[in-house]
Amino acid sequence: MKVLVSDNLGEDGIRMFEEAPGIDVDVNTGLDAEELKAIIADYDALVIRSATKVTADLLQAATRLKVVGRAGIGLDNVDIPAATQQGVVVMNTPTGNVVTTAEHAVAMMLALTRNIPTGTATLREGRWEKKKLQGRELYNKVLGIIGFGKIGAIVADRARGLKMNVIIHDPYVTPEQIEKAGFDSVDLDTLYERSDYITVHVPKLKNTIGMINKAAFEKMKPGVMVINCARGGIVNEADLLDALESGIVAGAALDVFETEPPGQSPLVVHEHVICTPHLGASTREAQTNVAVAVARQIIDFLTAGTVVNAVNMPSVTGEVLEKVGPYLTLAERMGCLQAQLVRGPIKEVVVEFHGDFKDLDLSPVSTAVLKGILTPVVKDDVNYVNAQVMAQQRGIKVTETNSAESDYYVNQITVRAITTEMSSVASGTIFGRKDPRIVKIDKFRLEMIPHGHMALIQNIDKPGSIGEIGTTLGRHNINIGRMQVGQEEEGDRNIIFLTTDTPIPEDVVEEMRQLSLVKTVTPLEF
């Protein structure tokens, strides 16, 4: 078996490959896309970090490739649907650098508060500016943490040790779970109003890009300090610069940027900003951890077929996978749908199996539902191995039921998501041998293909409603690839699923919501 390491990897990981029986490893970093494409057909495994782009084009050329391993968490540089289509397992190492990243956020907060970088720079220039560089104490200050995942939880724990008052906002974690950990759960506006420091620990998603913007800064306590060691783009850099100039924000600590490297960014040279070149995961320990983890996972997969930390395949035997594979795809997309339809933190998920499942082990299917529910929330942090644990950590109760009876289809899966504010029910089945379909949402029956850029529209069932929707999208040059309509079992409403070639911009979504016969518009991504 041949392994290609195309990005820099810790020596301990390379050594593990070299010492593994039956494994030949080549380390060839810095290749451009065409150079990598020219040699990839010779390899069974590819080990990457963030530099290598695993595109659909590359995967087409990778005729022997069985597995891609990412030494780290983020998988923005991997086309996961294309890899799945090619039968290539994609693994990451989601826990190797969480402590390191959390510690970096705390270090940035301390350095910002006590003007350490500026003090160092001015001393090197021969200046003694002791009075000018007066700082603050962290003791008794309020730290607002946005995001209570692995990293956010560690930051909260470290801040508690510094005797700070920690408040948390995470719309996907129940207040009970946050309070159980010993912290206060608050809404976002309250966090902005109360916090002396705000640190962001959420993944970069459609609904988190630019979430810390002008409107957010206007709600913050004057003199607040902002730390972003998560992902570039979550904090709007132009709005942050304005907030610094106006004095709303007294200082900012940035490890990540909208464009990396940021070039001649005015934030980098601002006197009240300290910054580092995306060093959150850059410690000797973290790099060793992820290198060893990815090497162990790749070796175990190639030599024993063991699947660990895969984001597109559960840890099951090939025989079981062949039988339940189509249901895994269906279940994950149903979970993803529910995550985008409900409001409030999910408290309970009920997975109901109806029909003839021929004594299949359905536990991987339930796990796929949870992975689908959590992916829009935590993105690359969740996989088939940790989905159950992550659900438990968020206080989500999971119930599974099985019945031999099915109303309309030979086999049907129903997912009920119950939140602090509402509940939602969706049912799905497999058409033919492997085509997933959503066949019911609440009281609406339909045949929806859950794939691509979509919008769910509830409208009054009257002539002209669909025409209004199509005209609005056409006016903005948005092409409708597919339209599926479902009718309410008892009532006067329709439900419409549109698949569009490109995502519908928020301003167009809002324009559609104002149409006379439209009740709701919900953008969806699969």
**Which residue of the set 158, 169, 201, 231 is catalytic?**
231
237 is an active site residue: no
Alpha helices, DSSP H, located in 67-149? 80-85, 98-113, 116-124
* Contacts of range 296-300, beta carbons closer than 8 Å, 24 or more positions apart: 296/16, 297/69, 297/91, 297/93, 298/3, 298/17, 298/45, 298/47, 298/67, 298/69, 298/91, 299/16, 299/17, 299/20, 299/23
Q: Which of 269, 266, 256, 183 is nearest to 226 (CA)?
A: 256
262 touches 270 (CB < 8 A):
no
260 is an active site residue: yes
35 is an active site residue: no
Compute the distance between CA of residue 50 and CA of residue 310 in angstroms, rounded to an integer: 17
445 touches 439 (CB < 8 A):
yes
DSSP lists the bridge partners of residue 436 as 430
**Which residue of the set 49, 278, 354, 437 is catalytic?**
278
**Which residue of the set 260, 322, 489, 525 is catalytic?**
260
434 touches 484 (CB < 8 A):
no
CA atoms within 13 A on the CB side of 300: 14
Strands 453-460 and 493-500, by their bridges, are antiparallel
Tokens read off for 88: 């290539």
215 touches 189 (CB < 8 A):
no
Tokens read off for 202: 């959420």
Tokens read off for 476: 């903005």
Q: Which of 116, 150, 94, 146 is nearest to 276 (CA)?
A: 116
Residues recognised as catalytic: 231, 260, 278
